[in-house]
Amino acid sequence: MSGSTLLKETGPREVFCGLTSIVWLHRRMPDAFFLVVGSRTCAHLIQSAAGVMIFAEPRFGTAILEERDLAGLADAHDELDRVVKDLLQRRPEIRTLFLVGSCPSEVIKLDLARVAERLNESLKGQVTVLNYSGSGIETTFTQGEDGALKALIPLMEPSQEEQLLLVGTLANAVEDRLFTLFKRLDIPKVASLPPRQSTELPTVGPNTRVLLTQPYLTETARCLKDRGAQIIQAPFPLGVEGSKIWMEAAAKSFKVSNSLVQTTLEPLVNRANEALKPYKNQLSGKTLFLLPESQLEIPLARFLLRECGMKLLEVGTPYLNKELMQSELDLLPENIRLVEGQHIEKQLDRVRHHSPDLVVCGMGLANPLEAEGISTKWSIELVFSPIHGIDQAADLAELFARPLHRHELLQKNNKLFAQV
């Protein structure tokens, strides 16, 4: 790595669990259904995180494990079979059913892989049943997507075709834009995982070059590599610089000429740098503390330091996959304090000690910190927002400038009230 100080910390954690990723995955693949096998707590989490869809049938639900199940008094397998049968009778349009494990299902050691195997036998031709874990015992919220994509990989047909595979959920509009740009770069075929329909999976093979759009897909990247795909090393497509290098890396792997890359990207870069200027003025010199939650922290820190002039006090990340993160780490200076893992009490002590201008953190920590007069940005918002690519750099910076602006306004108002 670059030489940044890497510290490891363990202790109490304050993060969302992997179930949260259903919020964006169910929007991405409307023909799939996510059935959480969990408790009422899990049902509350997913409902409040996703909002109740009042205009359409929801594409997620919870098979509630009752106390009887948890105590091992009832056969959870029979109950689950019954719930799945009812669901598919009501919703025959479902093509892929994800059984999503939770803390309770893990505690009672409910083997969802075996359940999925059994259901696949009985539902052959009607629906594909897959499983992954969203349990908060082991995962943070973005790892839910890693588990879901990993579960899809065995269904991908082998292929020798030369293609670029974008891996990680993007907003559809952002993905369309990137597809257009890669087409302009003469890249013969571009596909994406997850696809927009769960049944339209891309192929994979030795001529597939994987370009990760999100940094939290460690297991997915490993499984695609096992299927013969090549992983393109690049920083992640956040900000002008990261997105440009990301696209250049893809172009290089397809031997696209430098001149075509430059003529395609230069106008975008110039426009994006211009759009970034007002936010840079607002952010430059401000101090930033990133608490670990989404695994987006390192690319965000790199963008906010190098393109917006912010000062990094600490960059926390729940996990650090050095291989996938190497290109990011290379762009960070030597003296960055990088912390892998979490001891929430110690981290909050450091936040209070430094009193940063802005803290990136989970929703549960934001309100208490705001009450102490510290501006915050929810890390989960960065996963829901269309922030990828050169064109989106100003929007990304604006997400950080907004809380600072609000803080300034509040301070002004407080001063005015004090004078009255």
Interface residues toward ligand SF4, by CB under 6 A: 17, 19, 38-39, 41-42, 45, 102-103, 134-136
For residues 301 and 312, give the distance between their C-alpha atoms in angstroms, rounded to a whole number. 7
For residues 25 and 196, give the distance between their C-alpha atoms in angstroms, rounded to a whole number. 10
Residues 141-155 as b or e (16 or more Cβ within 10 Å = b): bbbbbbbbbbbbbee
Name the residue nearer to ligand SF4 (CB basis): 136 or 168.
136
Name the residue nearer to ligand SF4 (CB basis): 65 or 308.
65
Count of C-beta atoms within a 10 Å radius of residue 1:
13
Name the residue nearer to ligand SF4 (CB basis): 47 or 321.
47
CB of 285 to ligand SF4, least distance (A): 38
In DSSP terms, which residues pair with 100 in a beta bridge? 36, 132
CB of 36 to ligand SF4, least distance (A): 8
Name the residue nearer to ligand SF4 (CB basis): 105 or 327.
105
CB of 42 to ligand SF4, least distance (A): 3
CB of 311 to ligand SF4, least distance (A): 34
CB of 341 to ligand SF4, least distance (A): 18
Name the residue nearer to ligand SF4 (CB basis): 29 or 45.
45
Name the residue nearer to ligand SF4 (CB basis): 42 or 187.
42
CB of 41 to ligand SF4, least distance (A): 5
CB of 49 to ligand SF4, least distance (A): 9
CB of 14 to ligand SF4, least distance (A): 11
Name the residue nearer to ligand SF4 (CB basis): 134 or 356.
134
CB of 82 to ligand SF4, least distance (A): 21
Amino acid at 262: Q
Name the residue nearer to ligand SF4 (CB basis): 104 or 237.
104
Residue nearest to ligand SF4 (CB): 136
- Contact present, 76 and 69 (Cβ < 8 Å): yes
Residue 180: how many CA atoms within 13 Å on its side-chain side?
10
Name the residue nearer to ligand SF4 (CB basis): 38 or 356.
38
